[in-house]
Structure 1
Amino acid sequence: MQTAEQLITDAGLRPTKARLAVLSSLLNSHNALSHTEILAALQGIKEIDRVTVYRVLDWLQEHALIHKISTDDRAWKFQLNAPKRSYKATDASTNSGLLSNHGHAHLQCQRCGTVLCIHELAAHIPQAIFDTYQISHIEINLKGLCPQCQQASA
């Protein structure tokens, strides 16, 4: 697995201490993380405050290194983009790369709030949709109970 520094430099971008710290926290997590969870993971690094984390998350998203996921509790969660994964319209690939970094599904636990990316379940959208609509965002969310919450309620 690549390091945060490799991901940033491979994208032709400049790594900073804050960018490396935020990206590393996402890289080391199996789940999507909220701003609050990232900030808690970085507690003790005095150069990093809540505003810095927001700015870095925006920067990472702008450069397609991460994506954000909306949740039921109205908080965004953030997850690394899958490397070299491409999701296109099923009939053609003329949708200007819209799905090139985020056309997969998410599993969200309705009890604990855990969010996982499911890359094996991808969006298959007919080209006619892209020919008719100007698509700005696609979300596929599956909601239910994670294995841990199922076991706790048994």
Structure 2
Amino acid sequence: MKIQQLFTDAGLRSTKARIAVLKVLASADNALSHPEILDKMSLQKEFDRVTIYRVLDWLTEHGLVHKISGDNRAWKFQFSQNSYTHVESNTQKKQLLNNSHQHAHLHCTSCGKVTCIHELTPQFSKQVLAQYHVESIDINIKGLCEACSHSH
């Protein structure tokens, strides 16, 4: 998947910073914090930490990434690979982004690695859904990842 094409298909304006940040997140195996993203972009000196914060907010707002609450109220970000669908027809409205973030996360209490689990989705009764408009769900399952469990 080409990052530039994702912006084009969604009708969103791409910038060098937006493309660079999304490339980092799309190539990551797990969710990354702002400092981890900055570290991975350290060779690209034209982007400062404030620019990266703004890009992350914009990408989150447009459903290209989602935020996951981490330790000490620090956010981690992950590419929302399952949140878009390519629409081929020019006659259809290009509805690419689905901003619902409704799945669980595995959170390693040792190394801090966060992984999305799309197979586990919450179910709500009709009574609950009648009372609330659910926009996002944050379920964190805490424990040790495979690497950390072998080292303990």
Partner of 2:87: none
The code of the aligned residue for 2:142 comes to K
The code of the aligned residue for 1:140 comes to I
Instruction: For 2:126 and 2:68, locate their aligned partners in 1 and report how far apart those are by CA, in whole Å.
Output: 24
Higher relative contact order by CA 8 Å / sep ≥ 6: 1 or 2? 2
Partner of 1:69: 68
Partner of 2:26: 27
Matched position secondary structure for 2:12? coil
Contiguous gaps of at least 5 residues in structure 1: 86-98
Instruction: For 1:107 and 1:132, locate their aligned partners in 2 and report how far apart those are by CA, in whole Å.
Output: 29
Q: Does 1:118 align with 2:86?
A: no
* Contact 1:107 1:141 (8 Å CA) reproduced: yes
* Contact 2:107 2:113 (8 Å CA) reproduced: yes
The code of the aligned residue for 1:109 comes to C
The code of the aligned residue for 1:73 comes to N
Deviates more, 1:111-120 or 1:123-132: 123-132
Q: Does 1:105 align with 2:104?
A: yes
Task: Return closer, same or farther for 1:100/1:54 CA change in 2, 3 Å cut-off.
Answer: closer
Contiguous gaps of at least 5 residues in structure 2: 85-97
Q: RMSD in angstroms over aligned alpha carbons?
A: 1.9
Runs of 4+ in structure 1 over 3 Å off? 134-137
* Contact 2:100 2:135 (8 Å CA) reproduced: no
Matched position secondary structure for 1:120? coil
Partner of 1:145: 144
1:55-94 Cα shifts (integer Å, max 9, x gaps): 0000001111111000123210001113357xxxxxxxxx
Partner of 1:128: 127
TM-score for the superposition, normalised by structure 2:
0.85
